[in-house]
Amino acid sequence: MVIEINQQQPPQEVGLSRIAVSETHGEDSPYFAGWKAYDENPYDESKNPSGVIQMGLAENQVSFDLLEKFLEQHCEASSWGSKISAFRENALFQDYHGLQSFRKAMASFMEQIRGGRANFDPDRVVLTAGATAANELLTFILADPGDALLVPTPYYPGFDRDLRWRTGVKIVPIHCDSSSHFQITPQALEDAYNNAESMNIKVRGVLITNPSNPLGLTIQRSVLENLLDFVTSKNIHLVSDEIYSGSVFSSSEFVSVAEILQARNYKDSERVHIVYSLSKDLGLPGFRVGTIYSYNDKVVTTARRMSSFTLISSETQHLLASMLSDIEFTQIYIQTNRERLRKRYEMIIEGLRKAGIECLAGNAGLFCWMNLSPLLETPTREGELSLWNSILGEVKLNISPGLSCHCSEPGWFRVCFANMSEQTLEIALKRIQEFMGRRRSQHGETVFGNSSFFGALKNRKQKRKKSFLKLEDHY
């Protein structure tokens, strides 16, 4: 029986919640618009060779073969076999603490990727359905609607959704720029805090990504030390999103906030919380596995209670507990994955350099921070959007413009390189090189040489900052 709804008369509008009608989701950002353009015309080597190549997705596919090989050799990890009792055990009700075997394996894996320089207690590991859920859950716990978190720019575009949309919490930017390689300076911290106070906004914490998304760069030990001193002096929290900690090209180049706390004998540790997931380092975003690790007992207790809204299936935990408990496998995986990511990074950097494009020197992640400011017709938001539209429409590459990351300097773009084959990356680089060649032909010898490139960068810097500061109105 088909139910027909008579819509001849315009229906009376039914009210919805403030969350439902809120515009803070951020889906109108070019970051998401680029994804839509890719979905409508996706590149395929044989079926659609002129389609859009997705370089806006930070996904790690370079070591997926190692995971597949493990599962082939350990069928029991992904199937129940004759162990019907194991099926019953995992299919029936599980509380929100999660499987003890998985929490123990996660804690061990987190120690491994930090080179054993930090220790993690499995009883403090809170499981969530990905890092998105972990960051939102922590925001609910640490702040009330109308309060703010300080977040250094440029930052992951999804934070506008994850931290603000349902929580009602504000983001106050910590403005970082190329003069300090986008590292967080003490002055930038103080300026952001004072800015919030001037608007009568209560600051509840600082949230960082280490390694940084979108910079692909680790945070220096001295900066982490200063951050801990800062949040202690202000009596606020520090959230360290470390989901790319196993994607640093060399383990020695990454310093976790956990290491700093351990060196300080955990003084003032109750204000520190770490977010981790298996989406990036292990390349399993579809499994939706995230964790909160807090040194605060009340936060751990509350996070466990709230995690009942964002659980991980017992079958997923069973499989991953088996995988992560195999120390021989995880050691080989971590080492091989780091090396493959480093080689892929070098490949894209060299390809861009041949096109006359420079990038911020990086050492981690699944992307590079590309500087196209010399190509801007005007050093403004509009100039950056115009260039981005040209690259998306003409070159058929989806890259993420810096304005979607709230960068205060126009002309920077995040470019992902680990979510495709080397062959596809070569095609993408060829498209960029041809695009740059056409630009040179159209405009003659411009600012693409070494000295002129950096000269243009210096000359435009102040104009860029002024034109983009107005974009940071998140309050």
* Catalytic (active-site) positions: 156, 241, 243, 280
The structure tokens listed for 415 are 């470019």
Residue of 321, 347, 389 whose CA lies nearest to 99: 321
| Cβ atoms 472, 400 nearer than 8 A | no
The structure tokens listed for 236 are 């606020």
3-state DSSP of 50-82: CCEEECCCCCCCCCHHHHHHHHHHCHHHHCCCC
Distances (CA, A) of 371 to 78, 368, 409, 453: 44, 10, 10, 10
| Cβ atoms 227, 184 nearer than 8 A | yes
Beta-bridge mates of residue 354: none
Residue of 317, 267, 256, 328 whose CA lies nearest to 295: 267
Contacts of 254 (CB under 8 A, 6+ apart): 114, 210, 211, 218, 245, 248, 364
**DSSP codes, 269-327:** GGGEEEEEESSSSS--GGG--EEEEES-HHHHHHHHHHGGGS---HHHHHHHHHHHT-H
Max Cα separation, the chain?
74
Residue of 153, 230, 158 whose CA lies nearest to 187: 230
Find tokens 């998306």 and name the residue: 392
* DSSP-derived 3-state class of residue 241: strand
Sign of CA dihedral 357, 360, 361, 366: negative
Contacts of 15 (CB under 8 A, 6+ apart): none
